[in-house]
């Protein structure tokens, strides 16, 4: 199949055999997730699946790490990567049964969970896809950061989830609720939590960033910075 390819927006290169496709994620997010997180868990030759794969940009990066990659999304219209693809509606209650439960060492869902109708359902299905020792890497907009708190205080609107944002953003993920309710119900536990960018913002006008940083010491919480959560998850151990 002949395709028109574009360079990754964050400008990074990868292995020569890996074609870099365009992506709509925040600049640099794919590089951060691969370099700072996934590269430490990826074992060459192991199976990985990218849920909500889009164009195949992240799946291609996973393949460059030596993983045996499969991609999945609702339809293949925008998928351009030379990687096996399975059309799956992530809103289906038991979509994992169609993909191979217990067969993947790595499951990724980058900027996906906020698009689904049942976030806990997505987490449960992702958990079922894992083989023993496997991990899930999920990213989602940080609606707990300082810009989001200010927007809700002033306008009663959830940042990146309102009427001027991506219209398919329907499920905001709040840090405290995610840990206290979502993960236990899905049979998962948190292994690592990162924020991107680690000490700043990319979706805030530069002239306001200094004010956010001045305000940060006076507010509580561990999610004051960063526009995106990066979660590493694994199946919950019995008795915990």
Measured in Å, how far apart are the chain's first and last C-alpha atoms?
49
Is the pLDDT at 4 greater than 90, yes or no? Answer: no
Question: Which has more confidence, 99 or 12?
Answer: 99
- Condensed to tens digits (0 to 9), the pLDDT of residues 15-61 reads 433 345 777 788 899 999 999 999 999 999 999 999 999 999 999 99
Q: How far apart are CA 208 and CA 195, in angstroms?
A: 19
Contacts of 224 (CB under 8 A, 6+ apart): 144, 145, 146, 216
Q: Evaluate the omega torsion of the peptide bond into residue 69 and state whether it is cis, within 30 degrees of 0.
A: no
DSSP string for residues in 49-97: EEET-TTSHHHHHHHHTT-EEEEEES-STT--SSS-EEE--TTSTTGGG
Pairing between strand 188-196 and 130-141? unpaired
- Reported as a single tens digit per residue, the pLDDT across 179-216 is 999 999 999 999 999 999 987 788 777 777 777 777 88
Q: How many Cα atoms occupy the beta-carbon half-sphere of 230 within 13 Å?
A: 19
CATH homologous superfamily, domain 29-235? Vaccinia Virus protein VP39 (3.40.50.150)
Containing 121, the helix (H) or strand (E) segment is helix 119-129
- DSSP at 35: I
pLDDT confidence of residue 121: 98
Band of residue 11 on the pLDDT scale cut at 50, 70, 90: very low
So where are the chain's domains? 29-235
């Amino acid at each position: 199949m002949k395709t028109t390819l574009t360079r990754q927006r964050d400008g990074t290169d990868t292995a020569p055999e890996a074609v870099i496709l365009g992506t709509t994620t925040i600049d640099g997010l794919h590089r951060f997730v691969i370099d700072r997180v996934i590269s430490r868990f990826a074992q060459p030759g192991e199976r990985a699946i990218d849920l909500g794969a889009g164009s195949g940009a992240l799946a291609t990066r996973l393949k460059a790490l030596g993983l045996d990659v499969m991609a999945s999304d609702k339809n293949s219209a925008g998928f351009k990567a030379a990687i096996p693809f399975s059309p799956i509606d992530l809103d289906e209650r038991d979509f994992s049964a169609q993909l191979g439960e217990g067969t993947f060492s790595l499951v990724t869902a980058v900027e996906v969970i906020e698009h689904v109708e049942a976030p806990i359902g997505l987490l449960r299905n992702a958990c079922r896809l894992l083989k023993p020792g496997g991990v899930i890497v999920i990213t989602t907009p940080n609606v707990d950061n300082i810009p989001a708190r200010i927007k809700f205080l002033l306008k009663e609107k959830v940042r990146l989830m309102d009427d001027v944002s991506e219209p398919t953003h329907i499920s905001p993920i709040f840090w405290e609720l995610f840990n206290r309710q979502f993960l236990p119900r899905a049979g998962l536990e948190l292994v690592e939590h990162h924020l991107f960018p680690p000490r700043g913002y990319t979706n805030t006008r530069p002239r306001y960033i200094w004010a956010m940083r001045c305000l940060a010491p006076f507010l509580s919480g561990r999610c004051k910075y960063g526009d995106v959560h990066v979660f590493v998850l694994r199946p919950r151990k019995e008795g915990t």
